Amino acid sequence: MSQPAALLSRLPTFGNEGAVHVIIETPKGSPNKYAYSEAFGTFQFKMVLPEGMSFPYDFGMIPSTRGADGDPLDILILLDASVFPGCLLEARLLGVIEAEQRERDGTWERNDRLIGVAVKARTHAHVHALSDLRPGMLDEVEAFFAQYNQLADKDFKVLRRGDAEAALALVRRGDGA
């Protein structure tokens, strides 16, 4: 295993004062999807979104966790300006979009999306819960993931939205996996 992979796999899940560590994989505004590859110890190009479509917020993973799909937990991060793939930051959890996606083989798999705000954010410093977000924002995020999955021949179904405690419970279940 390469050195970068070993370093990322050893990062702790939690940072200071209950914040979670986040590794950004795809920056806000990017039409390209990137994902960290543990096998190669680097970030891998996954796909190009259709013309005019881009990631609405920085998208990343919480290190040293595993979700129901076997991958590190996914998280969208609110931040003043996008950051680069591989950037480590601390975030406060706001909540979770609990969801399932139908894979190409027809099976349904849980693939939740956590929502957080960077601890060092200025624009979103006042946001501490999903209810603090502007009206319609979560609807837009859910629509993005539905469209994104459709492009990969998958379905995305929102089960429910959960608060920061529900998000923290998911992280604790996946911590150290």
Q: How confident is the model at residue 106 (pLDDT cuts 50, 70, 90)?
A: confident
Note the pLDDT of residue 2.
46
Residue 177 has pLDDT above 50, yes or no: no
What mean pLDDT is reported for the chain?
91
For domain 3-168, give its CATH number from 3.90.80.10, 1.10.1740.10, 3.30.300.160, 3.40.50.700.
3.90.80.10
Is the confidence at residue 160, as pLDDT, over 80?
A: yes
- In this prediction, residue 115 carries a pLDDT of 98
174 has a pLDDT exceeding 90 = no
pLDDT at site 1: 44
pLDDT greater than 90 at residue 7: no
Instruction: Supply the DSSP string of the chain, one letter for each residue.
Output: --HHHHHHHHS-SB-GGGPEEEEEEE-TT-SEEEEEETTTTEEEEEEEPPTT---SSEEEEETTB--TTSSPEEEEEE-SS---TT-EEEEEEEEEEEEEEE-TTS-EEE--EEEEEETT-STTTT--SGGGSPTTHHHHHHHHHHHHHHHTT-EEEEEEEEEHHHHHHHHHHHBT-
The pLDDT confidence band at residue 15, using thresholds 50, 70 and 90, is very high
* Sequence ranges of the domains in the chain: 3-168
pLDDT classification of 3: cutoffs 50, 70, 90: low
pLDDT tens, 44-103? 999 999 898 999 999 999 999 998 888 899 999 999 999 999 999 999 999 999 999 988
Confidence label for 152 from pLDDT (cuts 50, 70 and 90): confident
User: Does residue 4 surpass a pLDDT of 70?
Assistant: no
Segment 100-114 shows an average pLDDT of 91
Model confidence over 33-53: pLDDT tens digits? 999 988 888 999 999 998 989
